[in-house]
Chains A and B, each alone.
Chain A
Amino acid sequence: MSEAESNTVRELPYVMAINEGIREVLREQKNAFIAGEDVAIAGSVYGYCAGLLDEFGEERVIDTPISEKGIMGLGVGASATGCRPIIDLMFMDFVGECMDEIANQMAKMRFMFGGKATLPVTVLTMGGAGGSLAAQHSQSLEAWLAHLPGMKVVMPSDSYDAKGMIISATRDNNPVFVVLNKASLAMSMEVPEGSYEVPLGEACVRRQGKDLTIVAFGRMVHEAMASVDRLKEIGIDAEVIDARSVQPFDTETVVNSIRKTHRALVIHEAVKFGGIGGEIAAQIQEEAFDYLDAPVMRVAAPFSPVPFSPALEQIYIPNADSILTKVKETLAM
């Protein structure tokens, strides 16, 4: 991890870290702009674009119509021709509106053109459940995106990573989806001022342990951390890895950990079937089969759309309880 250029560190909520990330990018990259629905005058519905219009003007902070296919196309066309766009897609669920631009154009253009096109476009989008926003505003669809050769997908779990990964994503010469989580917006931690990178494709060990490796994506990192003490009570010292990046995925960090712990559990907010956890489990058994003392465990959402009722949504979202239950079940404790 590269060092922050400035040492001044303060508490910053996730939402403001996103804001600072975008701000740094617009300051340092003259060809960068941000476009999306209600990002300029309203400062985004989440508030993370607040003040950007004032600082950078309407040529670089652009309100768009509600036309996701157009907005994503803007990102493809502008990035292929010399700009460094940040495209804001208000809810991750809306990838459905513009999947052709993402899957058939953005991800593939460079390859199809024999390496002659470069698309340094960053898409910011918001995933995750928890606010009773129901089936079309709560999904975690990172597996759809990670399935696309040519696309990078990262899921910053905290303020530090959100800011640093936005900066890294915009400096990267490939399309990058930065999948944010709406349930994390108010979470605070210490974040340096100024510009710094958090490398794409590198996982981070959040807690060292010796009995079980938990690989967590996005907000689920916090649930994994919350499970640590309770796992300890049943005699399991868990190591927690924040995957941070879905595509490319840092297999090495995970495998190194499993060599030590001999057990693995993957947790994500997306539904289990076809979720990224299946891919990770497969990679683990390919790369570390001989080190495993137990089947790779998965904790993920049940196979249903995200329900509206708080009574159902509560049990839908994986959490520390589900980790504990899964571990007990698999290890027959």
Chain B
Amino acid sequence: MVAKKKTENSNGPSQKILQELHRKMVRIRKFEESAGKMMEDGKIPGALHLYVGQEAVASGVMQHLSNEDWITSTHRGHGHLVAKGGEFKPMFAELFGRSTGYCRGKGGSMHISNMDLGMLGANGIVGGGPPIAMGAAFSNKFKKNKNVSVAFFGDGASNEGSVHEAANMAALYQLPCVFVCENNGYGEYTPQARHQAIVDVADRAAGYGMPGVVCDGMDVMAVYEAAGEAIERARNGEGPTLLECKTYRYYDHVGVRGMGLNYRSDEEVEEWKNKDAIEAFEKRLLQLGVMTKKKIEKVHSSVNQDIEEAIAFANDSPYPLPEELLDNVYNEEA
């Protein structure tokens, strides 16, 4: 474990930061809920892996990052992009397969990305992100800047060789890289106990030669603090950290069914929903007097409006033209 270093003044994060954390989580939740609806309405083709339930992780981590910092994401990637500053319009447009999407309709949900925001892509390959994040961290160190990179990956992905290789190299070269394992208890339909012989993925950190930290991924403040320490270490040239966030996805592995699934019980889902990160945080904000009920409602309604506008934008956007197919395979610039 890492020695506690305060990343904020002794009063904790400012009201502004707390409000930003809240807004991020609400934006992710509403984006995902609407994406689910749009899929059901036949607007979104392909496979949709929703992030609902895990909002605290992306929000708590991303609060410490600027556009100059890199992240790599997963197949469950919309939440990461929203938290990194992704705008709803080009995001929905991408999910709809339109040419106004972040990837011109070529990537879709599983490859959504934005280089300007420091988002090196969702990834259709489980375990695909960490080696890339390690490479981006290498680049930061090589260029002697103070930027970091963060690799998000799941409990299931933690069993991919690519993750071990990336972690070993990041520790060996003391790279400014943070490995964030979002342990939601399942890889597809397989519970963690059936895919690995350990309980805490963070235990593997010792084997890589980096600190391993476990935190409550349903508590945005816990994530915010733990991620803050890991990212600060990385920025200070003290090397990588493996941060495991215990969390849960409310919906099925793919698609929008939440309850009545045969590989997990509805009671289990209810138990996790009782710890809902957004509800819990809103309660706390009210208690702390950081936000009033009215202000919270205002956040919700303004995000709702953003969503509505973005969906209309995506709906009105054109599909890519046939001749665009062969664009972007190579860089044709001289």
Contact = CB atoms under 8 A, between A and B. Distances in A.
A173 interface: no
Contacts of B319: 309-312
A333 B128 CA distance: 48
Interface stretch (A76-84, A134-142, A222-230): A134-142
Interface residues of A, number: 36
Interface in A284-316: 302-305, 307-312, 315-316
B106 A38 contact: no
B249 to A, nearest CB: 16
A94 B128 CA distance: 11
A38 B252 CA distance: 14
Interface residues of B, number: 41
Contact of B110 (A37, A64, A94, A134): A134
A65 interface: yes
A45 interface: yes
B97 interface: yes
A137 B48 CA distance: 13
B173 interface: no
B325 A135 contact: no
A131 interface: yes
A139 to B, nearest CB: 11
A45 B47 contact: no
B46 A134 contact: yes
A134 B123 CA distance: 11
Nearest to B192: A65
A303 B127 CA distance: 26
A128 to B, nearest CB: 14
A53 B190 CA distance: 14
Contacts of A94: 125
Nearest to B162: A97
Nearest to B124: A136
Contacts of A303: 326, 329
Chain B contact residues: helix, strand, loop or mixed: loop
Interface stretch (B54-62, B153-161, B270-278): B153-161
B15 interface: no
A96 interface: yes
B188 A309 contact: no
Interface string B100-118: 0001011111110000000
B160 A308 contact: no
B98 interface: yes
Interface in B186-206: 187-190, 194-196
Nearest 9 CB-CB pairings of A with B: A308-B108, A136-B124, A309-B97, A311-B319, A132-B46, A309-B105, A132-B45, A65-B159, A42-B189
11 contacts: A38-B190, A65-B187, A93-B125, A135-B106, A136-B124, A305-B106, A308-B97, A308-B111, A310-B97, A311-B322, A312-B325
